[in-house]
Amino acid sequence: MLITSTATKFLKRKNTINLNGRLLDLTKPVVMGILNVTPDSFFDGGKYKTEKKVLKRAEEILEQGGTIIDIGALSTQPGSEAISTKDEIDRLLPAVKAVKKAFPNAFVSIDTYRSWVALKVIEDCGPCMVNDVSGGNFDVHMYETVGKLGVPYILMHMQGTPLKMQENPEYEDIIRDISMFFTDCVKKLTKAGVKDVIIDPGFGFGKTLEHNYELLNRLDSFKVFQLPLLVGVSRKSMISKLLGSNTDEALNGTSVVNTLALMGGADILRVHDVREAVEAVRIMNMVRSTTE
């Protein structure tokens, strides 16, 4: 792969993320626990409807070794339709506020592709990472908003929209196509003043089963960007379809794929099952320590 001019600006791999003066150390991989306050997410939809349940889940993530709590209020599973901005705010804002108050030292990420939602939540609740599954494609103001807020941004690749992204995704070369997307977006984010960017190739978002496993096999290609890499494969259909199982039975497959992702250079694992992912990280760290 050709190293682009944007990529070569990052001469040293970025191993820390700055969230309002607090540094998140990524010299070793960390785990991001999912907290969905949605009624329709593909695995845990409807589980966390009350503040008590939200806080219990946040506590569980931290107690099991999670480093980041990722809170989302709208489903982006294949075939899902967007909800109104008001509905998203009404779900997201109370959850983030409660988690930030109860666990002030936790790193919190908000899963939204709307700049106004990011602005409102961060102004009301304090600094959070912004996890944008659209990579800025759904809201032209996202980059400038994140730049002004001065918070880390997770840049994810998606082909299409959640409603139709799995109808017929096509790539000439999936690594090259996603790398071109990252190159263009990182350049724009830098221009907008965003200082901390995490890249996410977007497993399952506009990718066939074969695309997902080719992406997994060639994951180390993204090291050229010298930016932290997030991988989210937790209980996704790329696992259950391949194994002929269902989402509830996909934990073992998820652990295998997470381990392969760590071998490919993942710095952050975004998961439902925190304890198992933390164990995978610990084992990988031990293996690597024997070669140092």
CATH number of residue 144's parent domain: 3.20.20.20
Q: Which domain holds residue 274?
A: 26-76+84-289
Tokens of 125: 């609740």
Task: Assess if residue 239 is contained within a domain.
Answer: yes
Whole-angstrom distance, CA of residue 57 vs CA of residue 75:
18
Asked about 275 being catalytic, the answer comes back as: no
pLDDT tens-digit series, residues 107-164: 999 999 999 999 999 999 999 999 999 999 999 999 999 999 999 999 999 987 776 6
Task: Assess if residue 3 is contained within a domain.
Answer: no
pLDDT of residue 5: 38
Task: Assess if residue 229 is contained within a domain.
Answer: yes
Task: Assess if residue 157 is contained within a domain.
Answer: yes
Asked about 270 being catalytic, the answer comes back as: yes
Which one of 270, 275, 282, 288 is the catalytic residue? 270
Rounded to two decimals, what is the model's pTM?
0.91
Which one of 49, 148, 236, 241 is the catalytic residue? 236
For residues 132 and 109, is the Cβ–Cβ distance under 8 A? no
- pLDDT above 90 for 45: no
Task: Assess if residue 13 is contained within a domain.
Answer: no
Task: Assess if residue 254 is contained within a domain.
Answer: yes
Domain count, the chain: 1
Three-class SS of 123-158: HHHCCCEEEECCCCCCCCCHHHHHHHHCCCEEEECC
Task: Assess if residue 11 is contained within a domain.
Answer: no
Task: Assess if residue 139 is contained within a domain.
Answer: yes
